[in-house]
Amino acid sequence: MTSTLTIRRPDDWHLHLRDGAMLKAVLPETARHFGRGIIMPNLVPPVVTGADAEAYKARILAALPAGMDFTPLMMLYLTEETDAADVAAAHASGLVTGVKLYPAGATTNSASGVRDFDKVRGVLEKMAEIGMPLCVHGEVTDAEIDIFDREAVFIERVLDPIRRATPGLRVVMEHITTRDGVEYARSQGDDLGATITTHHLMINRNHILVGGIKPHYYCLPVAKREEHRLALREAATSGEARFFLGTDSAPHTDPNKESACGCAGVFSATNTMSCLAHVFEEEGALERLEAFASLNGPAFYGLPANEAEITLTKGDPVAFPEKLATGEGPVTLFNPGHPLHWHVTA
């Protein structure tokens, strides 16, 4: 039985670092294991322009502890007023890796997102022309659509029409949560990728709701039925190049999670690699963990894999802290509900 596993240093292709005191607290939790991260732009106010991205990147690098090596890959937040020329210039300079599409009202700090997709057509066409990826939060926000159906309806009503209308546009379906998402990704060409989170591989909607509401499992897109979790596990462990890791690690303080209207988000940066090794071992696919966590993402984005390596070793249960102290208050770490035995040892 395998007890050690050495892989290229992984990257996180969907990461929330927030800003200020929260940024300073959570950044080291990612930088400890990950070489790069796609940084979500849904701050308040959002990261809309190249100048915004440059300033935010500078704050991230200033918060990085001495001796840690981490590269933030910056994103721009797509609005109906986004300037295609500014997007292209930011990409050409190497400052910005992609653009993030939030349907307005879909998740945390998404009020500035897109309502009328015709208004962003020019930006999408420019992105297709220059090969710049569009990362999509794949949920419709129509009030009549059940929250558990939002992803499937988004694929049909929004994503597929956008891709048909914009040939050549490279798209990442972020944090897919359904069999529908897996099947759509597999039906398309190599210009479509899909990220899968740590927590969606480990929990379903019962974990949120059975035996009392578990606010620290509440996320958007919300966890779905067990059949969908199993489809995600099969996709993640398949080795297929179109699927790669995006943790969607999203810290909120406990008071903001444990309230009458709690925030959506799961903080998993600290223990993601232990969680993933657990999942891949359960699925008999440890030899494919490197592809999912370290190789497929860089290949999709046209970047080299990290030269550095990390080693995971199986042993006694890992003693993770229950909470991370931040200058804004405590943040609860994702708890899979059972011990984790894979340690990052080097």
Q: Which residues are tagged catalytic?
A: 248
CA-wise closest residue to 108 among 254, 260, 262: 262
Measuring CA to CA, which residue among 240, 300, 344 is closest to residue 73? 300
Q: Phi/psi at 23 (nearest 5 deg)?
A: -55, -50
Q: With contact defined as beta carbons under 8 Å apart, do 132 and 92 qualify? A: no
Q: For the chain, how many residues are written?
A: 346
Cβ count near 129 (within 10 Å): 13
Residues 6+ positions from 142 with CB-CB distance below 8 Å: 153
Phi and psi dihedrals of 146, rounded to 5? -60, 140
Q: What is the per-residue burial (b if ≥16 Cβ within 10 Å, else e) of 315-344?
A: eeeeeeeeebebebebbbbbbbeeebbbbb
**Is the previous residue joined to 161 through a cis bond, with omega within 30 degrees of 0?**
no
Q: Based on DSSP, count helices (H) and strands (E) in the chain, helices before strands.
A: 13, 13
Helical residues (DSSP H) of the chain, grouped into ranges: 20-31, 50-63, 84-92, 121-130, 150-154, 160-165, 179-187, 205-209, 226-236, 254-257, 272-282, 289-290, 296-301
Of 201, 142, 151, 196, which is closest to residue 172 (Cα–Cα)?
A: 196
